[in-house]
Amino acid sequence: MKLIDILKGVNCEIKGDPNIDISGVCYDSRKSKNKYLFIAIKGFKTDGIFYVEEAIKNGAVAVVTDREIKEYPGITTVLVEDARAAMAKIASNFYNNPTSKLTLIGVTGTNGKTSVTYMLKAILERQNNKVGLVGTIQNMIGDEVIPSVHTTPESLDLQELFSIMVNKGVKYVVMEVSSHSLALNRVDECEFDIAVFTNLSQDHLDFHQNMEEYAKTKGKLFKMAKSASVINIDDKYSSMMIESSKAKVLTYGIKDFAYVMAKDIRNSLSGVKFKVQIEDKKEEISLKIPGIFSVYNALAAITVADFLGISLRSVREALSQVTVKGRFELVETGKDFYVIIDYAHTPDGIQNIMEALKEYKTGRKILLFGAGGDRDKTKRPLMGEVAGKYADFCILTSDNPRSEDPREIISQIEEGIKKTNCPYVVIENRKEAISYALTNAQKDDVIILAGKGHETYQIIGDKVIHFDEREIVKEILSEGGNR
Ligand SMILES: CC(=O)N[C@H]1[C@@H](OP(=O)(O)OP(=O)(O)OC[C@H]2O[C@@H](n3ccc(=O)[nH]c3=O)[C@H](O)[C@@H]2O)O[C@H](CO)[C@@H](O)[C@@H]1O[C@H](C)C(=O)N[C@@H](C)C(=O)N[C@H](CCC(=O)O)C(=O)O
Ligand SMILES: Nc1ncnc2c1ncn2[C@@H]1O[C@H](COP(=O)(O)OP(=O)(O)OP(=O)(O)O)[C@@H](O)[C@H]1O
Ligand SMILES: N[C@H](CCC[C@H](N)C(=O)O)C(=O)O
Ligand SMILES: [Mg+2]
């Protein structure tokens, strides 16, 4: 593809031959190859501009930067306003604007994105569609799994994935849209048909200055969606998303009047049932994932399905089978107590899984959790406090400490739990903490392993070790980890 065609719609100053042939595009010099275009991006840790010469050595023949660089013989340099924003346009051009050939549904919010996308994929597949999915756990093209590094990939990777999906006959794509991606131009140039708002609560305040800025960032998605904005009217930030919406607004909720509402909610450890009402239409819905939060997630998916003209009967059948790895996942132990693996890693997430267990009175609720390192520090005491309010016993341990001191992270959580009367222990090593939970479990207890969910790794420092809590539970129990 000619460079000039790749740069269509990009305001830039070109020095050198604009008609050179480009065989590929990269933003990592280590991935540069013969006749590549290298995009130099200033990052949080380093700056792509330091790697221009490496990219050229690896074969790049053109370089995009947002700051002047020296001239290199035979190399075309392209000066743009903002390299990240330019990359999104370049990516869309290079991969032939694939989202114009898809029905693209973007789901954003602090919690529920993964769950809603899995529900939507099941509903759309029941209509015999080939569905693409982009998200935290994995990316999917129908049943084909492509490992995901990010919840929402960089624009170049995202547009490439979309183009593969189009070539494989995908018609609908459901994707999680993280606030990082909206702030870092990852989803610029994506033609969203429908945008879904789940909720907004504290997370990522290491990245966003405050909740207002976090909300404003999320609001960008609703400015982009062309056909419909599906919004949780019960969330206190719903009005901001409605104000940002360009398209038709469809509301869902439980507390107040909404276009799509849930009535007669019956919750249990094995799932939740409710009646959904859309104007004069009603249907009994049954979900395998319990909790009011699951009802909200299902209402979001049902609202999208209704907008797409899919019958409630078909929606009911699809939703009844949906499970999501690491979201309220019951682990078979063969013992007289329960073990649940869940991905709750925010104060609101913890509150919601514990609320889902509120009616469960038979045994104790033992909550084991930590908090991610190099993430929002201010949520840690709040997580401790909400955990202490709901659990009968807490075990504070590590999640993914990353570059932080695990004991420091735990002590910040402790600040919150100390405000409650909840008894707790601190066991920094997560495997030892799980062993402690299982060894001390009593009949009918519910042990919740929270924060890692689907993750099969633990990030300590710059090391990533294999860590699958399902395997660890089975291993401990098989070694007699309980009577
Ligand atoms: C905060 C953040 O989002 N950081 C992302 C960012 O890293 P960065 O800006 O630090 O990049 P950098 O290391 O400074 O490098 C700058 C540039 O130099 C280039 N480079 C670097 C080295 C080299 O030898 N050659 C070279 O060309 C890099 O390719 C990059 O373009 O760009 C990197 C390359 O794309 C991402 O991998 C990285 O994600 C990090 C790993 C991350 O943890 N991101 C998380 C916070 C994230 O994005 N999370 C959201 C939400 C999660 C959720 O709530 O579910 C997500 O969507 O996943
Ligand atoms: N609608 C919801 N409201 C609050 N908490 C929820 C909701 N849905 C799920 N949760 C809780 O949050 C956890 C994460 O859910 P999910 O993975 O669907 O969210 P997400 O938005 O994709 O998260 P992330 O931003 O990390 O990708 C779940 O394990 C559950 O504990
Ligand atoms: N166990 C993870 C959960 C959060 C992952 C994701 N929401 C992010 O912020 O990257 C952690 O905190 O390390
Ligand atoms: Mg997710």
Number of domains in the chain: 3
The Cα–Cα gap between 39 and 16 comes to 16
Residue 187 and residue 309 in one domain: yes
Check whether 396 has a pLDDT greater than 90. yes
Q: Does the pLDDT at position 101 exceed 90?
A: yes
Instruction: Please tell me whether residues 190 and 300 are part of one structural domain.
Output: yes
Report CA(107)–ligand 2 centroid distance (Å). Answer: 12
| Whether residues 75 and 200 fall in one domain | no
The verdict on 181 and 106 lying in the same domain is yes
pLDDT at 206: 86
What are the tokens at 202? Answer: 């504290």
**Do 109 and 45 sit in the same domain of this protein?**
no
Q: Which of 275, 299, 320 is the last residue of a domain?
A: 320
- Residue 70 CB contacts under 8 Å (≥ 6 apart), including other chains: none
Give Cα 408 to chain centroid, integer Å: 26
As a whole number of angstroms, the distance between CA 35 and CA 79 comes to 19
Mean pLDDT of 322-346: 95
Nearest to 158 by CA among 198, 189, 118: 189
**Span 356-369, average pLDDT:** 92
Nearest residue CA, atom 13 of ligand 3?
Answer: 372
Among candidate residues 44, 69, 95, the one where a domain is terminated: 95
Name the residue with higher pLDDT: 128 or 206.
128
Is 454 near ligand 1, meaning CB less than 6 Å away?
no
| CB 44 less than 6 A from any atom of ligand 1 | yes
Phi first, then psi, for residue 27 (nearest 5°) are -120, 5
85 lies in the same domain as 111: no
Task: Quote the distance between the C-alpha of residue 279 and its chain's center.
Answer: 31
The verdict on 308 and 425 lying in the same domain is: no
- 2-16, 206-220, 314-328 — which is least confidently predicted? 206-220
| Whether the CB of 41 sits within 6 Å of ligand 1 | yes
> Is residue 327 within 8 Å of residue 338, measured between CB atoms?
no
- d(CA 371, CA 9) in angstroms, rounded, equals 43
Mean pLDDT of the chain: 96
CA of 114 from ligand 4 middle (Å) equals 4
| 34 marked ligand binding residue | no
Strand ranges inside 43-156, DSSP E:
60-65, 76-80, 103-108, 131-134, 138-141, 144-147
pLDDT of residue 483: 59
Helical residues (DSSP H) of 168-210, grouped into ranges: 179-183
Domain around 21: 3-95
Quote the ligand 3 centre to 178 CA distance (angstroms): 12
Tell me, yes or no, whether 222 and 256 share the same domain.
yes
292 shares a domain with 359: no
- Residue 100 in marked binding region: no
451 is in an annotated binding site: yes
Q: Supply the residue whose CA is at minimum distance from atom 24 of ligand 2.
A: 111
- Check whether 402 is labelled as a binding-site residue: yes
Judge if 55 and 113 occupy the same domain: no
Q: Please identify, by atom number, the ligand 1 atom nearest to the C-alpha of residue 186.
A: 57
Give the mutation target among 150, 152, 179, 187 for probing the ligand 1 site: most ligand atoms within 8 A of CB. Answer: 150
Residue 482 has pLDDT above 80, yes or no: no
**Is there an atom of ligand 3 within 6 Å of 451 CB?**
yes
* Same domain as 436, residue 337: yes
Q: Is the CB of 179 under 6 A from ligand 1?
A: no
Q: What is the ipTM of this complex?
A: 0.97
User: Which CATH number characterizes residue 315's domain?
Assistant: 3.40.1190.10
Distance between Cα 3 and ligand 2 center (Å): 42
The closest alpha carbon to 193, from 159, 217, 165, 224, belongs to: 224
Mean pLDDT lowest for which of 137-146, 192-201, 208-217, 258-267? 208-217
The more confident residue out of 34 and 202 is: 34
375 Cβ closer than 6 Å to some ligand 3 atom: yes
pTM strictly above 0.90:
yes
Domain boundary among 34, 67, 95: 95
Question: In this predicted structure, what is the pLDDT of residue 481?
Answer: 66
Does residue 198 line the site of ligand 2, with CB under 6 A? yes
Query: What digits encode the pLDDT tens for the residues 447-464?
Result: 999 999 999 999 999 999
> Do 82 and 125 belong to one domain?
no
Ligand 1 center from residue 147 Cα (angstroms): 17
> 46 C-alpha to center of ligand 1: Å?
10
In the chain, what percentage of residues exceed pLDDT 90? 94
Tell me the CATH number at 19.
Answer: 3.40.1390.10
